[in-house]
Structure 1
Amino acid sequence: MAFIPRSEWGLPATWPNRRVDPSRRTGFVVHWDGGPNPDDAADEIRLLLAYHRYHLHTTKTGGFDYNLAVGPITGNIYEGRGLDVVGAHAGGANTPNIGVILIGGPGNLTEKGQQGLRDAYALACKHTGRQLRQLAHRDVNRTGCPGDDIAAWVHAGGLSGGTVPAGGGSTGGPRFRPGDITVGVSVKQVQERLVAHGYNVGPHGIDNDMGTDTISAIRSFQDDQGIDVDGIVGPDTWGRLSAKPGTAKPTGLKAPAFPLPNDDWYFGPKSGPKQSVSGYYSHRSDLRRWQQRMKDRGWDINPDGLYGPQTRSIAVAFQKEKRLRVDGLIGASTWAAAWTEPVT
């Protein structure tokens, strides 16, 4: 378990929002996303970046809403906005409270997740110089967040007994930031190769700027190739980017588990039957994950978590391209293909 500064997992090194004196903090609020759980350490960061993009472009809160995040796989504490910045996690209660999100949804209160939350709480208490109130999101807003199990655990004093991460979060050895290039090429060259392989580097295109969209594209490329997903352009990543598109064969690709109850269900219009999940009433973060994946592959789609004409149109085009059943519905096969089929 370690403390991971925001600049090491993909957020800006500094955060412009209003600072809060530690003396004004009185509570520590636990949240969840309610969506899919991460599969591994790299998936924790992928989900955090998805949260950041959603908060930046859809909810318009300025980016990642939480002061801290905790990974249920690693127990790592990820710095979000930071302990001294106003969050956007709990309407009307952001100044007095430090907010932490346990990544994922049902089933994410693992032993590692519990210990990470305890350590995050200990870190927050040390920062403020006092014992903060242990709160679930539903204690300060009308919401079901963070689920019954986590809320009960928090109310029972589950946050007590943590240890502040030693050494400022350093895990020893060399550390690189996502987006670092270690092979002597320019950002422009990396972007050119990403575009050649069919990845979306953001609305400004090839601009020689290592922004969050380019880092996301690097991570998606690494994920597709079955190599370490760290957002760093090292020799292996550059070697695969340098290959002729279509010749750098992916290995060991794995799609995240289909998030709906069974293979008879699908993401589709809200006017459909019970098995048609539109994102308007549930599973919005899951549909947003598929949409973001398609955006990372180069499709022009807004990852808003809602099934509409744009999502249907892209699903149809994708199904035709990959020779899947063409119905515009995102069932188990269309879901998996977004990860396992090559980018063309």
Structure 2
Amino acid sequence: MAIDLVTRREWGAREPRGSYGRLNSTKGVKVHYTGGQVSPDIVNDHAKCVAMVKSIQNHHMDGNGWIDVGYSMLVCPHRKVFEGRGPHNLPAANGPGLNSGHYAVLGLVGNAGLTQPTDGILNGILDAIEYLRDKGGAGKEIKGHRDGYSTDCPGGPLYAWVKKGAPRPGDGGGPQEPQPSPAFPGRVLKYPPVMSGEDVRTWQRQMRARGWSLDADGLYGERSREVCRAFQKEKGLPVTGAVDRATWEASWKEPVT
């Protein structure tokens, strides 16, 4: 599933008071919770999620004196990922001296009220992590805030999930089987024209997983065509630069190492 991103403009973020420190890459991501009470009502009312994200930004800016909300991304029970400081920008929530090592992703659970992360929150956190890996050079580590700083964050339930390896809900946390080829979308992805859609993004992600340098932006442009042609040549397929059924199926034929 593509990330359900709520941009700063969409959630009504305040402008930062200054310039962020810049990051080229990080070791990975640290997972956080609010550390306070979270009303269970947010599970059934997304407007309350938006209000909560705004209140967190206000607290960080007006209470902590930070230039902006301290998290890179914030995730609500509806699997929506709110843009905080975003990729390549130094977070502030990990603790002094620890912010350059990891991005910071908050799940909207607390130490009272809503304490157990929903599947939507867990999936959203993983969506945010994949986004930060793709767009911000985040490494493979997934840790809790407490792994680097003396705190209870991200709380017992969320930290237990992190310690299990942060599995997707329903996968049991064990080794994942190689993914079968998704159904061919029924249309040839080709350039020109530039085509966009989730099937384009699905193919781009698979090619990235196979080691090709390619943005999973959902746009079948010139770089996608270049990768397609090289892949077709590698697999002994007609070199057309268009992802037809044979190319699509070959993209998933061998396990990704």
Q: What's the secondary structure of 1:11's corresponding residue?
A: coil
Q: Percent identity?
A: 25
1:77 equivalent among 69, 76, 81: 81
> What CA distance in whole angstroms lies between the structure 2 residues aligned with 1:121 and 1:57?
28
CA displacement at 1:67 relative to structure 2: 0.6
Partner of 1:36: 38
AA partner of residue 66 (structure 1): Y
Partner of 1:26: 27
AA partner of residue 42 (structure 1): A
Partner of 2:153: 145
Unaligned runs of 5+ in 1: 170-344
> What CA distance in whole angstroms lies between the structure 2 residues aligned with 1:158 and 1:107?
17
Partner of 1:112: 120
- Backbone CA RMSD of aligned residues: 2.7
Query: Would you say how many aligned residue pairs link Structure 1 and Structure 2?
Result: 165
Unaligned runs of 5+ in 2: 172-197, 202-215, 219-257
Shift in CA distance, 7/159, structure 1 to aligned 2, threshold 3 Å: farther
CA displacement at 1:51 relative to structure 2: 0.6
> What CA distance in whole angstroms lies between the structure 1 residues aligned with 2:150 and 2:160?
16
Larger strand percent: 2
Shift in CA distance, 50/13, structure 1 to aligned 2, threshold 3 Å: closer
CA displacement at 1:14 relative to structure 2: 6.8
Are residues 1:4 and 2:9 paired?
no
Contact 2:31 2:104 (C-alpha < 8 Å) held by counterparts? yes
Q: TM-score, with normalisation over the residues of structure 1?
A: 0.44
> What CA distance in whole angstroms lies between the structure 1 residues aligned with 2:125 and 2:51?
19
Q: TM-score, with normalisation over the residues of structure 2?
A: 0.58
Q: What's the secondary structure of 2:100's corresponding residue?
A: coil
Contact 1:17 1:85 (C-alpha < 8 Å) held by counterparts? no
Contact 1:7 1:13 (C-alpha < 8 Å) held by counterparts? no
> What CA distance in whole angstroms lies between the structure 1 residues aligned with 2:69 and 2:20?
14
> What CA distance in whole angstroms lies between the structure 1 residues aligned with 2:217 and 2:14?
18
AA partner of residue 33 (structure 2): W
Contact 1:87 1:94 (C-alpha < 8 Å) held by counterparts? yes
Partner of 2:19: 17
CA displacement at 1:129 relative to structure 2: 4.3
Q: What's the secondary structure of 1:66's corresponding residue?
A: coil
Where relative contact order (Cα < 8 A, 6+ residues apart) is larger, the structure is 2
Partner of 2:53: 48
> Equivalences for 1:135-174 in 2 at 5 Å?
135-158=143-166
